[in-house]
Amino acid sequence: MADTADTAHVIIRPPLAWGLAVIAGLLLNWLAPLPFLPADLPAPWLGVTVFVLALALVAWAIVTMTRAGSNIPTNRPTTTIVEGGPYRFTRNPIYLGMFLGLIGLAIAFDNLWLLMMLVPFAFVIRYGVVAREEAYLERKFGDVYIGYRSRVRRWL
């Protein structure tokens, strides 16, 4: 059994929140389609490109964190502050990748509902996940995290 005392106690696992946003957007589009792109735009190719870039960012972040010896799942303890790889530019590259992935899917499927799901997803991630993680990291790592937070932006 995982040690849940040493975690950020986020309100939902981020991949689950992302999956729910995607499912909601696809379901709403099935019920009431809302295309938003010009018909002559190569939306599938553009959307797939954005989605692949998002996956690459997420993969880079996961590899970087794993190599540093820290845990990825939010229900496991963070063991170190990772400052290399994409963490040099953003404190939340995995969540940023999730946002970009949702945008890529919205473009690929020409689905305004998916794009609108960014709002509740961003709200949940920002306040139910990131705020709790930041408080946890400050409690656990103190000045090390405060210094990192002062050097690297939350998003971009």
For residue range 96-125, list pLDDT tens digits in order: 999 999 999 999 999 999 999 999 999 999
- Look at residue 116 in the predicted model and tell me its pLDDT: 98
- Look at residue 1 in the predicted model and tell me its pLDDT: 43
The count of C-alpha atoms lying within 13 angstroms of the C-alpha of 79, restricted to the half-sphere facing its C-beta, is: 11
pTM, rounded to two decimals = 0.93
With 0-12 / 13-18 / 19 or more C-beta atoms within 10 angstroms meaning exposed / middle / buried, residue 18 is buried
Is 59 inside a domain boundary?
Answer: yes
Is 35 inside a domain boundary?
Answer: no
Residues in the chain with pLDDT values less than 70: 1-4
- Look at residue 3 in the predicted model and tell me its pLDDT: 47
Is 115 inside a domain boundary?
Answer: yes
Is 128 inside a domain boundary?
Answer: yes
Give the structural domain span for 72. 41-151
Number of domains in the chain: 1
Is 27 inside a domain boundary?
Answer: no
- Look at residue 5 in the predicted model and tell me its pLDDT: 80
Is 21 inside a domain boundary?
Answer: no
Sign of CA dihedral 130, 133, 139, 145: negative
Is 18 inside a domain boundary?
Answer: no
Is 23 inside a domain boundary?
Answer: no
The DSSP symbol for 50 reads H
- Look at residue 107 in the predicted model and tell me its pLDDT: 98
- Look at residue 23 in the predicted model and tell me its pLDDT: 98
